[in-house]
Structure 1
Amino acid sequence: MYKQNIFGYSSQKQFVPDSYFKSFCSERVHGSQAEWVTCQFCPDVSNEHLLVAGDQDGQFFIVDVRYSSIGLYDKLIKKSVRADKSCILELEFIPKKPYMLLSLSGHANVCMWDFEKTTRVYTFKGHEESVRSLAVSPFNPDMFVTGYRDGMICEWDQRIRSDGLGYRTPISTIVNAHSSPTFSKPYVKQKLKISTPRTVQARVGVTSLVYLDEYTVVSGSSASFKTDIRLWDMRYKSKNRPLRVLEVPKTKNARDFGVASLCLDRYRSSLFAACTDSSIYEYAINSSIKSPIAALSGTPKLDFNAFDVRLASSPISDHLLFGSGETYGLMWDLQERQEFVYKDELHCGYYPYPKYVFGGHQTEVKVVRISSLGQYIVTMDDRQWRLWEPRFNSSNRSSSQSAFEEVEYFQMPETALDSIKM
């Protein structure tokens, strides 16, 4: 019903007209004394307006974005929690438990919080090195996985207590999930005089995780140009080999690169991978095809170690969002993979380039998020974040404010325009 009211089309068609996202605007920027690192909307529809944002100083903030819609900016921050002395690397709400969330920090701390009471519920300990990635199961809110800088993937069940310990421990682990054997120079045994190559396992960090289904986890790493994208069946206690491997194309720049972010579309049928060589690939994750079926264009050149940029897919439509690493966020209209007609108007022309640009930032936008019903979008750089919403939801319908920004169409390169004309 929501989609019929907002978009004016049958929910069976699932098409979103250009006029919807083009109507989004942002009235002001919201700053912080500390550097912003990450943010996430609550996945529960009833709490779509709740946003959690984490900073470099180890704090996270619960934001009620509805107050921005009515101009009450001093009431935006609902709660603030000091989670750690180190940087908050990732935050995730727990599905079906709207006041619970998980936090990752640079001190290898994984914690569950009741932010309504501002109390820590559980601590999860599985390794000493920094935790780099987190995925909560949308199928079972008690289950989640974490990825570590040393290449380990840990699986957790919130319900299982560790006797005699003040913290939870993993129920299973995958060691060296993305390591590939490398061979050093042969060494000579003094007595036998036989040269034998020594196998060395180089540790590769797990940079992104996502649940494909109830039992399958997809992982990307800081060296995916060597180890590709891997799928794991978490039911097997002995996880020495991945269930499947998806190939990451080797680019002409023969420089090491990895996967910065993974996400699935709303149907969980397409997997998107953003790589630090500025490539974004699409995989038909439920097919037997190992290589990408498409590569998106229009991404700016990323810094070599830009593992903090994030992908996000729209939960209501076929759109993909990306924190570009420049002073704006990007959105692709994946509906254009197939030409379609909406109200007698043909929609095509941008894909595989982005269609929309979310600007108004002074520094690099790394994170872009969209809420569970598609009514709010947040773009975040390290100093500021912007809330975007349709103009008919906004408190100020004029563009008189100096910080006011509107969504713009992407400026396609001339070479792309020429190919379209042909």
Structure 2
Amino acid sequence: MNRIQVLFNRQQGIANDFTYDFALRRLCVAKEDSWRGILPSNYSSDYNPEPPIFAAKFANCDNFRHILAIANEDGKIALQDTTKRNEEPEERALNAPQCHYNAVFDLEWAPGQMKFVSASGDHTASLWQVDEGGEIRNIRSFEGHTRSVKTAAFRRHDPSVFATGGRDGAIIIWDTRANLNVDLTPRADNCIYSGHVGGPGTPMSQKKRTRTPKMTANATSSSITGLAFQDTNTLISCGAGDGIIKVWDLRRNYTAYKKEPHPKYSLPYAGTSTFKGFTNLIVDESGSRLFANCMDNTIYAYNLCSYSSKPIARFKGLLNSTFYIKSCLSPDGKYLLSGSSDEKAYIWNLNYPDEPLVALYGHTVEVTCVAWGSTHDQPIVTCNDDAVHKIWRIGPENINEGEYLELCRGYAKYEREFGKKTHGSTHKYNLRDLENTPRSLKRLMDQNERTPSSVEKVTMKRSFLEMLGAVGGGDDSDTQDAKRQKPLESRGRRLFSPSSNISNSSTSPQMRCIALQCINLNVCGFCSLFITNQPR
């Protein structure tokens, strides 16, 4: 929900902003909700009995939001009704048509329609129509990339315009209403070539493109790994190696650029690791926040209203070691769900980004793509590399962990420590939370947190040699000196008294040493450092 709308509702006394952290602990996977992905293809010589799933998205159309589309490495795309359960005792694989003859890396549903676009490794993107009987029909294929197409994104509230990004570093905007070329191929509406330069990609000298930007021969274009529309004319992209998130104004004609195109805004990498490639981009429903999965095991959140280069939050706790890790938001925009390379999926409460709220256990290999449904039960789908996808639902309340392991094939566990005290700070208020407060309040907090230094207590302690004289039994008149106040020292108190007091101390060779319990001071190496007038 939009934060501004929430504020207006609170002013009118409408309190409908609730969290359900307690319910996420009960997420589980019933035996009827665990599937074996899609049946593998046997058209290729390198037959893979367990093709991994690379994309999973719920339909974005009313009355069909329970339909899930998943795509695998073999190029198959299956539609699944998540309200139906698996009636067989073992996990079952889904039947699916052969949509591409290469891997499908991403798919995106058109807003308000039962259409979706698929991004494939065969250098094409295809638009598909879902018929009433659940059949998938190809409408048109879009050819413009010279390498694998990695990602796709539809414009908000417009099912006719979408963008694709590929391994060749190109971002192409397509309009299904545009006229065809002479050879009856779709015509690109706008092109951004070499938008992300640097990192893993294709050298410019090896690219087969008529409009090659004038760049050095050894320069490389970073693979486009994430695309997201902020509004009608604003597109956000990220690459696999340059560590920069770029905001493009699609009202410009980037096709005519002969050099590296300049975006409207750039968000540089905010971390310190050398693994600064991004794997996924998400823009919330209000278009004010951006979430980017990074290879440094962090999900960065940015403010799109100001385009500040400083992230507003950093979500940690996951392990992101491949470019197949993806994330999504809950339908109400309060939680963040992401896959991970440590065989788990994580859910964060957006108000507590430091550590995940719960972790989903049940997979045995890397969890790649995830999806969160918007139906009444809000199912969660997680997919992994061994061709298994699981559907998570809220389970019963009064059940222990042993019964979960026996009856379910996946369970959730709290990761965030509730009521944990912050170490290293005794402040009643955290001054980091006051970045957006008035300066007068900041000064007031600083004054309240400082200890007054005008009054200092003078310690009246005996020196080390005075203590030696007292224990050794010397004459009080010879060993005791008038105590003087020590000057205040800003760098801490001295351990021993100044050397000027040592000459007035007792020089009896039979004086006992407290530190080493020795009688003869002539052989005491410790005392010889401080007593220099001993008889030889």
- Scaled by the length of structure 2, the TM-score of the pair is 0.64
Where do residues 177-196 of structure 1 align in structure 2 (5 Å cutoff)?
A: 177-179=195-197
Aligned residues: 371
Q: In 2, are the aligned partners of 1:58 and 1:88 still within 8 Å (CA)?
A: yes
Where do residues 328-343 of structure 1 align in structure 2 (5 Å cutoff)?
A: 328-336=344-352
Change in CA separation of 1:230 and 1:74 when aligned onto 2, cut-off 3 Å: same
Which among 279, 289, 296 is matched to residue 277 of structure 1? 296
2:361 — aligned with what? Answer: 359
Q: Give the secondary structure class of the aligned counterpart of 1:380.
A: strand
Change in CA separation of 1:77 and 1:102 when aligned onto 2, cut-off 3 Å: farther
1:59 — aligned with what? Answer: 76
| Structure 1 stretches lacking a partner, 5+ long | 1-8, 182-196, 337-350
Q: Give the secondary structure class of the aligned counterpart of 2:222.
A: coil
Where do residues 83-232 of structure 1 align in structure 2 (5 Å cutoff)?
A: 83-98=99-114, 100-116=115-131, 117-179=135-197, 201-225=219-243, 228-232=244-248
Equivalent pairs: percent with the same residue?
24
Change in CA separation of 1:296 and 1:377 when aligned onto 2, cut-off 3 Å: same
User: Is 1:387 the counterpart of 2:395 in the alignment?
Assistant: no
Change in CA separation of 1:392 and 1:385 when aligned onto 2, cut-off 3 Å: same
1:184 — aligned with what? Answer: none
1:241 — aligned with what? Answer: 262
User: Is 1:410 the counterpart of 2:415 in the alignment?
Assistant: yes
Counterparts of 2:425 and 2:332, CA distance in 1 = 31
* 212-221 vs 277-286, greater mean Cα deviation: 277-286
Residues 389-419 of structure 1: CA deviation (Å, up to 9, x unaligned): 12369xxxx7475543332111669xx7663
Which among 13, 17, 22 is matched to residue 16 of structure 2? 13
Counterparts of 1:21 and 1:325, CA distance in 2 = 21
Q: In 2, are the aligned partners of 1:65 and 1:76 still within 8 Å (CA)?
A: no
Q: Give the secondary structure class of the aligned counterpart of 1:14.
A: coil
Report the RMSD for the aligned CA atoms in angstroms: 3.1
Counterparts of 2:284 and 2:15, CA distance in 1 = 17
| Structure 2 stretches lacking a partner, 5+ long | 1-9, 38-49, 200-214, 398-402, 427-536
Counterparts of 1:367 and 1:419, CA distance in 2 = 35
Shift of 1:164: 3.7
Q: In 2, are the aligned partners of 1:79 and 1:115 still within 8 Å (CA)?
A: no
2:61 — aligned with what? Answer: 44
Letter in 1 for 2:339: G
Shift of 1:167: 3.1
Letter in 2 for 1:25: C
Q: In 1, are the aligned partners of 2:35 and 2:91 still within 8 Å (CA)?
A: no
Change in CA separation of 1:215 and 1:329 when aligned onto 2, cut-off 3 Å: same
User: Is 1:290 the counterpart of 2:309 in the alignment?
Assistant: yes
1:346 — aligned with what? Answer: none
Q: In 2, are the aligned partners of 1:64 and 1:77 still within 8 Å (CA)?
A: no
1:372 — aligned with what? Answer: 374
- Scaled by the length of structure 1, the TM-score of the pair is 0.80
Q: In 2, are the aligned partners of 1:273 and 1:282 still within 8 Å (CA)?
A: yes
Shift of 1:132: 1.1
Change in CA separation of 1:421 and 1:250 when aligned onto 2, cut-off 3 Å: closer
More strand by share: 1
Residues 198-230 of structure 1: CA deviation (Å, up to 9, x unaligned): 6853221111000011110100001233xx110
Q: Give the secondary structure class of the aligned counterpart of 1:299.
A: coil
**Relative contact order (C-alpha < 8 Å, sep 6+): which is higher?**
1
Counterparts of 2:287 and 2:88, CA distance in 1 = 37
Counterparts of 1:36 and 1:125, CA distance in 2 = 24
Greater C-alpha radius of gyration: 2
Counterparts of 2:62 and 2:15, CA distance in 1 = 20
